[in-house]
Amino acid sequence: MAMSELKQKILLFELAKAGFPDAVYMPESGKIKVLPEDDRSPFINDAGDISYGREHDYFVMNTLRPIVQSVNESVAAWEMAEVISVEEVKKFRVLVEYNNVLLAARNDTEIGRGFHFVTWRRYDAGVENGFYTEDYNSAKENFASRAGLVSQNKLFTQEQAAEIQASIAYRIENDGDLTYTTENELGTIAAQLRASYPIPTPIEAEEGIADNILRRYMDIDLEHYLGKISEKIIIHYPKDWTYDVEHMKELAQTGTSEDKRLVWHVCSHGTHLKNERDMFIKETGPHSYMTDYRQSDLDMFGFYIEVTGIGESGAVRGNVFEVGDYAEFAKHIREISEPLDSLTLIYSDQCGVNAGKTITVSRKEYDTDRTRLMSESGNVKALVYHPKDKVRLASIISDERSKRMAFPIGNTEELLQRVTDKLAEVRKPPEIAEAVAEKPKTLAGKMQAANEKVKAQDEQNNNKKTRKREERK
């Protein structure tokens, strides 16, 4: 049976979000092939059945099946839903309503995305207090809580979840009479807690600092709020943020869903904005830039960014997720990332023997012959990195996204205040550092110090410009 066009688009979009942008619909069979380059790739049919080889068992059960079940449920709900009666939001359909709370959806497949879900509270003239997300499960959870379908007494707080998880870990470690079956069951419970609750880090749990719990900020004006963060943090190279805005606008208009999932860090010396998928592949530029953290970089902040589109004002909109302590974040990325296997180089039509061509080379060949490949053979306009294990990489990205989608919704003004407080804590006023430094007493000494300072600044500016040009290849 052929798969409906709507379900095709929604499934392909959700697969791309999970790290499978190459998944393709096969009209002759009416199925979606998840891994086109794999002869034993899993296939998904219209009913949601998945056929797969034994080697993909874990991948299907833990990654694919939840995606397919969520899509089947949301598409079925959409097809039965009625258009909302409120004129201002008539593009939405009401999936369910209870206790004056609505769960609604909008079909955004025409702009290359999936369903956009929202929960509202209804009042006489319309709706208010919207919670927006592209994640169906998050929308359902928010609806159940707001509508009173789930009692708050049946939900754990962050602190309670942390205590339960710590108790499970203690029992597994110290109970000598624990059976293998019970240990597995406890491990499953702990995994469910990690996926459902943003458990504080060990330092946060010990000190009980609620302000340090990671948060997410959904459907916000990225230019406005991230711009404010940039203004507070950046001392040198403020134009970095201008380049970031331009890049996000380009992605909002032409990028794929995978292109629009980014990682951003900002510190006193500017910013880096890189693709999330590429960051999780070792020996790539994005991986190096995002994990190059030194103990002196105390004013470095990091965020995951999902670009969702352009708002009515023309500003870029999207979702933002905190990464927490940057030293720990960089260490985590280094530990779980997948090794690089090969690279695809896409050349422009301008010049060189490879003009207009797309070639794939091994990592070793790229490392040993980089100059010829990158410049002498033509102008490389894009690089595509290929990991050794594509399925494992997709699982890593999917797991990381699941964790951050469980973060509580944060307040953007409180985020700005926390950034301000952290900067005040880690930065000393420049005049204090200058007062402590020994000043030259003679005219010759003062001239020499001034020349050295100018030379250092020129060298720093040249290095910065070179690095930015290389990043944008």
**Burial state string for 240-272 with b = 16 or more CB within 10 A and e = fewer than 16:** bbebbbebbbebbeebebbbbbbbbbbbbbbbb
Q: Is 132 contained in some domain? A: yes
Confidence band of 441 (pLDDT split at 50, 70, 90): low
Q: Tell me: the pLDDT tens digits for 157-190? A: 666 777 787 788 778 777 778 776 787 788 778 7
Residues 284 and 423 in one domain: yes
On the question of pLDDT at 424 being above 80, the answer is yes
Residues 113 and 227 in one domain: no
On the question of pLDDT at 9 being above 70, the answer is yes
Q: Is 42 contained in some domain? A: yes
What domain count does the chain have? 4
Confidence band of 257 (pLDDT split at 50, 70, 90): confident
Do 94 and 104 touch, CB atoms closer than 8 A? Answer: yes
Residues 107 and 233 in one domain: no
On the question of pLDDT at 356 being above 90, the answer is no
Residues 326 and 433 in one domain: no
**Sign of the C-alpha dihedral computed for residues 126, 130, 132 and 137 taken in this order:** negative
Q: Which of 294, 297, 273 is nearest to 285 (CA)?
A: 273
| pLDDT: which is higher, 167 or 195 | 167
Residues 308 and 422 in one domain: yes
Under the phi-then-psi rule, with left for phi > 0, alpha for psi from -120 to 50, and beta for the rest, what region is 344?
A: beta
Q: Tell me: the pLDDT tens digits for 123-159? A: 877 888 788 888 898 889 889 888 888 776 666 666 6
* Residue 135 neighbours by CB under 8 Å, 6+ apart: 117, 405
Do 15 and 59 touch, CB atoms closer than 8 A? Answer: no
Do 373 and 366 touch, CB atoms closer than 8 A? Answer: yes
Q: Where are the alpha helices (DSSP H) in 92-135?
A: none
| pLDDT: which is higher, 385 or 88 | 385
Residues 438 and 312 in one domain: no
Kindly report which listed range (35-39, 160-164, 247-251, 314-318) carries the lowest average pLDDT score.
Answer: 160-164
* Residue given tokens 């953007």 in the structure block: 412
On the question of pLDDT at 37 being above 70, the answer is yes
CA 387/CA 397 separation, integer angstroms: 13
Do 120 and 104 touch, CB atoms closer than 8 A? Answer: yes
Residues 74 and 91 in one domain: no
Give the residue numbers spanning the domain of 326. 214-334+412-427
Residues 290 and 422 in one domain: yes
Residues 239 and 328 in one domain: yes
Q: Is 73 contained in some domain? A: yes
* pLDDT at site 426: 85
Kindly report which listed range (49-53, 88-92, 109-113, 295-299) carries the lowest average pLDDT score.
Answer: 295-299
Q: Are strands 301-310 and 270-275 parallel, antiparallel or unpaired?
A: unpaired
Residues 66 and 116 in one domain: no
* pLDDT at site 443: 58
**What's this model's pTM, rounded to 2 decimal places?**
0.54
